[in-house]
């Protein structure tokens, strides 16, 4: 019995496992509908019945909204000192706007869902043929027909197509963002399924992996006619992709609705919250604490006063403790002052609730949205060539753009154009190619060397720029190594995944590949006589041209393809050549290929390594090419295991591991043929943009897959590296790494590598500490060393400490995963605001890990931009995005928050002072509608306009003086000192306004009609004064057309407007309240100016002021370098058409009878020089005073030092 029980148990477990691990689809038969999802999709967040409860839940998850709801609830009780409408209406307004926004967005999603679900497709019906049906009616196992330019309605198994070879082209931009077409092949056994009779008898079963989000993998098999056919990703057509360049295809539905891969990938991107918002949380917490403290003080003072002076309050009828007034009367019960104090505490919470600005969140959201719209409309960041503007995909991080400390950038396609040109090559130890790369031109320019005539750029086919007489015009066929050259061209023409497109003329072909370098290889092979003119599912067809003009046509049978991956860093194809020989052709990173070369064949190895080094130093991308002859027997044995591994229905990760082990087995003992060198030119404006970003105090980190020599030279060309920089190189290849690796002692290898990396990092830290003078530094680390750094916590801390002290960092040979890990290290452990920028799918990880992600919409598609927070077409636009828009948004949002704090402090303390005057009885001085309209109408709108449109410094000057960006990096606009100054400014202004108005009315307490001034009159005057104060504080006159009615009309028009004293007292209170603030601002602007204030003075003078190197602000603690030079003794000269700042040439001299004043001039004579020297001797170690009149169109101070040098400072006394 026990044995039988175990048998049944094992059988049950096996069946359960089969159901869990497999996805079984019966094609052209009915499947269990309950097991599979409907093809009707919904991306809506709400349903009609869940919108209200779920929407309210989402809104009250915010602590601030929960507080405001509590505040509104208190206003409904008898203890409230204000009308409930003054708290409820603003709360309903704020939450209503947020929920309305959610409703509109959800409605748009639902509208799009409905459109997609009701699209039409041709669906096969037994005995009826193909009929038009809606997408939502499709079920698993159905057979559908998709026509050209239509989207696939579900994830389909590709059965057949209109192409006789069973091919089709697919556009996957909605899935991975890539714009290039992908080739898909159906199985040879199913490509003849093309008409109704064949589908009527077609019954098969698909066993495959469960639905998952991986769009690049698929594991499964087709069981049909007693055969097992392996399935791969090339036989799957995914929902969201579109059929291109093919008349029609037939497919069987595998996954529907929420089970499709595109829906599995439709998760929300990581939620990013700006640093400013986290600072705002602290401000709100402070205001809440202030509210509680003031309420406690008020309640305690009231309780004490109630117990001592009860007889003065007999008119409040504390004996009336019944009915509706029972709670309110308990507030004045002298026999229980503790209860009265507690009730008064809640009264004060309602009364002082205006300390916390309810409209701040809505104002910030509106301001940021409009800022993002203006950013999208900036024509300076529009790339006309591709018709692509800059785009803010989120508005949450606008101000974060103004605080970036580190930029982590990809190289290929981000700094470069990603337009590959076959430039040089090494074949059989001989280097070919005489052209000069951009990096080499940069070196020649620095050494003032002119290009020779044969080095000047000439026209060439796209993707091919190799110039060498030894190869051109098929002269290589006369070379002694012509067999090796032919093998080299064979690998170029066959080892790829290129799709060949051609019209009626087969000579007019177009090569479409997943990467630009593959297309350049095939073009190079064609130019050198090895022309790939056709490709089928199982063969590639070559025309081999002879020097005589004739050609031979060869067919190469493709047996297997071992795809490239970022982990493998290589690709191989196994082909059978026309002579029947089986060949493995391999290309990949040089370090990967050289590790797999046969030790018995050393020919050309060291010469090729030298050439690779030369190519790297010239800034070229290199790959090594190798091959291997396979005997029939060993290949067939390996192929059986390869097919068996593909047939195993396991998850894609386990299958990939098995296939990788088999690939590693066959890709051994290779024979080296040569190497390729491809040039990827820099984008326009990259060096200038990087130089200005560095001048702004932003450090640049480049994360690239290139070898170290290539990365270093590209760094120089981009100006990431400078000649005077001290480079700290961390690498393993030159430090016994290969020798230790050859031992294959894993423990010993790890120990050696860890020690070597640690020693190199420590040496860099020692070198930094020993520098006597300030020098720029850079860290350069290779991928293997970086791998050990990221796996060891101590090394990670050491590396980060060293890197943060340097100006630039270059990480070479890095994988996509390492890019993401480095970004996370900088953001979390380095506590720096970092921005990642990239253009491809391999950059998505680091884009999502950074505080801000920027995607370049380039050649590699849109996947990076889809995952990014901001997108643009060129790297150079990043300069304007940060230095202009980022700095503006940071300044504006900082001002918005400080101003909201200030205006609520002045308003709240005016209520507090009045409450203190009335013995903390909970009396409000303002009418209820004044309380309601103060924030949304009288004060929030004006500051919102300023936060949207204000430009403290114009864009041209922000680009001209990138050092202004450091204001955001140092958070100078939102320091504790500035918040405190705004806080106390509000208190002082509230105090002055309150007592000026109160004392004024104490001397003149009647109105024009003889009636006495009452509380409403005082409140109206005080409210008018405070509204004037808070708006004049911005130095902006904003007029709002307000229609007064009801209580407002009675208080203002009927009562206060006819009273002259109202205007006099309101203006007097406003003036006296603003006077301390104006004095404070003027003092610091004149004696301790900030950078942007200095540039504002320059801006007012139309930028005609000239500057000397090492400009310092008098009285200030900050300094910055404007990069200008002293060209003659005692004479400050600005170079003509300065490339960095665009300032015209000017000279400073001391004219005759100038006393101590110095004027700018465009000429200089001996008399001027004599006067200048006389001024120096007369005013030793002093500075010349500034003169501002019509003769000086600019502002400057010139310091005359004892060493006869001139130092020019910028004056704020413009």
Are 726 and 777 spatial neighbours (Cβ–Cβ below 8 Å)?
A: yes
- For residue 189, which of 218, 228, 155, 156 has the smallest C-alpha distance? 228
Query: Could you confirm whether 410 is annotated as catalytic?
Result: yes
For 10, the 3-state DSSP assignment is helix
- Between the CA of residue 410 and those of 201, 468, 623, 837, 862, what are the distances in Å? 53, 32, 19, 6, 15
- Between the CA of residue 1158 and those of 48, 1129, 1192, 1208, 1211, what are the distances in Å? 76, 16, 9, 12, 13
Q: Looking at 744-807, list the stretches that DSSP marks H as alpha helix, in order from N- to C-terminal side.
A: 746-769, 783-791, 793-804
Beta bridge mates, 185: 167
Give the distance, in angstroms, between the CA of residue 639 and the centroid of all CA atoms in the same chain.
Answer: 45
Strands 220-224 and 204-208: antiparallel
What is the rounded CA–CA span in Å between residue 917 and residue 408? 59
For 251, the 3-state DSSP assignment is strand
Helical packing angle, 85-117 and 360-376, nearest 10°: 40
- Between the CA of residue 500 and those of 121, 507, 571, what are the distances in Å? 29, 11, 19
What is the rounded CA–CA span in Å between residue 546 and residue 552? 8
What is the rounded CA–CA span in Å between residue 1124 and residue 1110? 8
- Between the CA of residue 29 and those of 35, 144, 1154, what are the distances in Å? 15, 13, 102
Q: Count how many Cα atoms sit within 13 Å of the Cα of residue 527 in the half-sphere of its side chain.
A: 20
Token digits of residue 776 = 């720029």
What is the rounded CA–CA span in Å between residue 42 and residue 50? 15
422 DSSP 8-state letter:
E
943 DSSP 8-state letter:
H
- For residue 1194, which of 1175, 1177, 1210, 1205 has the smallest C-alpha distance? 1210
What is the rounded CA–CA span in Å between residue 189 and residue 198? 12
951 DSSP 8-state letter:
-
- Between the CA of residue 923 and those of 79, 517, 1016, what are the distances in Å? 11, 78, 12
H-helix or E-strand containing 228? strand 227-231
H-helix or E-strand containing 123? strand 120-125
Are 159 and 845 spatial neighbours (Cβ–Cβ below 8 Å)?
A: no
Burial class (CB in 10 A: 0-12, 13-18, 19+), 324: exposed
Q: How many helices (H) and strands (E) does the chain have?
A: 39, 39
What is the rounded CA–CA span in Å between residue 1003 and residue 737? 92
What is the rounded CA–CA span in Å between residue 303 and residue 331? 9
Are 236 and 218 spatial neighbours (Cβ–Cβ below 8 Å)?
A: yes
Beta bridge mates, 122: 132, 145
Neighbour count for residue 452 (Cβ, 10 Å): 9
Active-site position among 163, 410, 706, 1091:
410
- For residue 1187, which of 1162, 1163, 1151 has the smallest C-alpha distance? 1151
- Rounded CA Rg of the chain: 38
Q: Could you give the residue numbers annotated as active site?
A: 410
């Amino acid at each position: 019995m026990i044995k039988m029980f175990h048998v049944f148990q094992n059988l049950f477990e096996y069946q359960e496992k089969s159901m869990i691990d497999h996805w079984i689809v019966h094609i052209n038969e009915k499947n269990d509908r309950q097991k599979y999802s409907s093809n009707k999709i919904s991306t809506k967040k709400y349903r009609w019945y869940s919108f209200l409860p779920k929407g309210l839940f989402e809104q009250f998850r915010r602590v601030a909204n929960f507080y405001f709801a509590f505040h509104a609830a208190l206003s409904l009780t008898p203890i409230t000192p204000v009308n409930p409408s003054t708290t409820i209406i603003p709360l309903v307004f704020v939450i209503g706007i947020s929920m309305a926004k959610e409703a509109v967005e959800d409605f748009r999603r639902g509208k799009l869902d409905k459109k997609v679900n009701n699209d039409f497709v041709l669906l096969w019906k037994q005995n009826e043929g193909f009929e038009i049906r809606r997408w939502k009616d499709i079920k698993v196992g159905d057979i559908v027909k998709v026509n050209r330019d239509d989207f696939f309605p579900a994830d389909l198994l590709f059965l057949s197509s209109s192409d006789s070879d069973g091919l089709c082209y697919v556009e996957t931009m909605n899935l991975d963002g890539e714009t290039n077409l992908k080739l898909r092949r159906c199985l040879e056994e199913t490509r003849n399924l093309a008409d109704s009779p064949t589908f009527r008898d077609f019954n098969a079963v698909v066993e495959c992996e469960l639905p998952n989000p991986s769009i690049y993998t698929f594991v499964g098999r087709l069981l049909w006619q007693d055969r097992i056919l392996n399935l791969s990703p090339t036989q799957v057509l995914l929902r969201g992709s579109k059929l291109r360049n093919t008349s029609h295809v037939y497919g069987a539905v595998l996954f529907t609705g929420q089970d499709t891969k595109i829906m599995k990938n439709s998760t929300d991107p990581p939620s990013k919250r700006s640093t400013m918002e986290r600072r705002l949380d602290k401000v709100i917490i402070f205001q809440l604490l202030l509210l509680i403290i003031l309420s406690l003080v008020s309640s305690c003072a009231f309780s004490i006063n109630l117990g001592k002076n009860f007889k003065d309050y007999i008119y409040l009828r504390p004996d009336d403790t019944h009915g509706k007034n029972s709670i309110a009367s308990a507030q004045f019960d002298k026999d229980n002052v503790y209860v009265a104090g507690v009730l008064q505490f809640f009264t004060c919470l309602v009364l002082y609730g205006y300390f916390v600005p309810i409209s701040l969140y809505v104002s910030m959201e509106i301001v940021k949205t409009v800022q993002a719209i203006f950013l999208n409309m900036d024509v300076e960041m529009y790339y006309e060539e591709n018709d692509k503007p800059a785009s803010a995909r989120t508005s949450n991080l606008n101000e974060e753009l103004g605080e970036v400390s580190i930029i982590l950038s990809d190289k290929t396609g981000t700094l470069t154009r990603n337009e590959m040109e076959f430039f040089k090559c090494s074949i059989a130890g001989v280097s070919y190619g005489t052209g000069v790369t951009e990096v080499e031109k940069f070196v020649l320019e620095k050494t003032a060397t002119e290009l020779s005539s044969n080095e000047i750029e000439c026209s060439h086919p796209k993707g091919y720029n190799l110039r060498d007489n030894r190869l051109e015009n098929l002269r290589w066929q006369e070379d002694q190594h012509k067999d090796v050259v032919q093998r080299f061209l064979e690998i170029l023409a066959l080892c790829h995944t290129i799709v060949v497109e051609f019209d009626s003329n087969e000579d007019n072909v177009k090569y479409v590949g997943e990467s630009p370098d593959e297309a350049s290889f095939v073009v190079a092979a064609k130019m050198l006589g090895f022309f790939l003119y056709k490709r089928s599912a199982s063969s590639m067809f070559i025309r081999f041209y002879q020097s005589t003009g004739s050609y031979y046509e060869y067919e190469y049978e493709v047996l297997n393809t071992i795809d490239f991956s970022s982990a493998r860093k290589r690709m191989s194809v196994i082909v059978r050549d026309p002579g029947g020989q089986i060949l493995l052709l391999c290309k990949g990173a040089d370090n990967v290929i050289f590790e797999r070369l046969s030790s018995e064949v050393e020919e050309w190895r060291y010469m090729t390594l030298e050439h690779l080094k030369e190519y790297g130093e010239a800034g070229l991308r290199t790959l090594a090419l190798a091959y291997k002859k396979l005997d029939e027997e060993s290949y067939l044995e390996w192929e059986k295991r390869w097919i068996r591994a593909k047939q195993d229905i396991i998850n894609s990760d386990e299958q990939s591991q098995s296939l990788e082990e088999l690939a590693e087995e066959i890709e051994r003992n290779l024979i080296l043929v040569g190497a390729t060198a491809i040039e990827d030119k820099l984008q326009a404006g990259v060096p200038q943009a990087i130089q200005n970003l560095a001048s702004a105090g932003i450090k640049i980190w480049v994360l690239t897959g290139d070898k170290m020599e290539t990365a270093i030279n590209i760094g120089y060309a981009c100006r990431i590296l400078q000649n005077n920089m001290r480079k700290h190189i961390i690498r393993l290849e030159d430090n016994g790494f290969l020798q230790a690796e050859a031992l294959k002692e894993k423990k010993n290898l790890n120990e050696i590598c860890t020690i070597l990396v640690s020693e190199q990092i420590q040496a860099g830290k020692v070198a930094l500490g020993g520098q006597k003078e300030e020098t720029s530094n850079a860290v350069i680390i290779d991928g293997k060393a970086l791998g050990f750094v990221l796996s060891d916590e101590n090394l990670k801390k050491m590396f980060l400490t060293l890197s943060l002290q340097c100006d630039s960092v270059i990480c070479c040979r890095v994988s996509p995963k390492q890019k993401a890990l480095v970004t996370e290290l900088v953001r979390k452990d380095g506590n720096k605001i970092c921005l990642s920028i990239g253009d491809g799918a391999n950059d998505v990880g680091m884009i999502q890990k950074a505080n801000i992600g920027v995607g370049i919409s380039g050649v590699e598609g849109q996947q990076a931009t889809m995952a990014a927070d901001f997108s643009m077409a060129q790297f150079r636009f990043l300069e304007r995005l940060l230095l202009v828009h980022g700095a503006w948004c940071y300044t504006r949002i900082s001002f918005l928050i400080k101003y909201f704090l200030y205006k609520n402090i002045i308003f709240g303390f005016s209520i507090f002072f009045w409450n203190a005057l009335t013995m903390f009885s909970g009396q409000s001085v303002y009418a209820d509608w004044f309380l309601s309209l103060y924030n949304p109408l009288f004060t929030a709108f004006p500051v919102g306009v300023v936060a949207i449109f204000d430009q403290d410094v114009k864009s041209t000057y922000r680009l001209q003086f990138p050092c202004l960006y450091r204001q955001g990096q140092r958070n100078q606009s939102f320091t504790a000192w500035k918040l405190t100054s705004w806080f106390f400014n509000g208190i002082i202004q509230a105090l002055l306004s309150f007592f000026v108005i109160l004392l004024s009315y104490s001397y003149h307490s009647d109105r024009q009609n003889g009636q006495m001034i009452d509380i409403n009159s005082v409140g109206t005057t005080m409210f008018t004064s405070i509204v004037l104060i808070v708006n004049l504080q911005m130095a902006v006159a904003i007029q709002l057309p307000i229609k007064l009615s009801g209580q407002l009309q009675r208080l203002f028009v009927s009562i206060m407007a006819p009273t002259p004293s109202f205007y006099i007292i309101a203006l007097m209170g406003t003036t006296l309240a603003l006077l301390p603030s104006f004095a404070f601002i003027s003092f610091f602007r004149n004696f301790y100016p900030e950078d942007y204030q200095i540039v504002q003075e320059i801006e007012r003078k139309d930028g005609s002021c000239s500057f000397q190197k090492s400009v310092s602000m008098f009285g200030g603690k900050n300094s910055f370098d404007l990069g200008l030079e002293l060209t003659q003794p005692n004479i400050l000269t600005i170079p003509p058409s300065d490339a960095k700042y665009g300032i015209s040439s000017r000279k400073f001299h001391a004219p005759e009878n100038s006393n101590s004043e110095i004027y700018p001039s465009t000429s200089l004579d001996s008399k001027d020089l004599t006067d200048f020297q006389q001024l120096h001797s007369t005013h030793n170690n002093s500075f010349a005073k500034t003169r501002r009149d019509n003769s000086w169109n600019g502002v400057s101070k010139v310091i005359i030092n004892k060493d006869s040098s001139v130092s020019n400072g910028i004056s704020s006394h413009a």
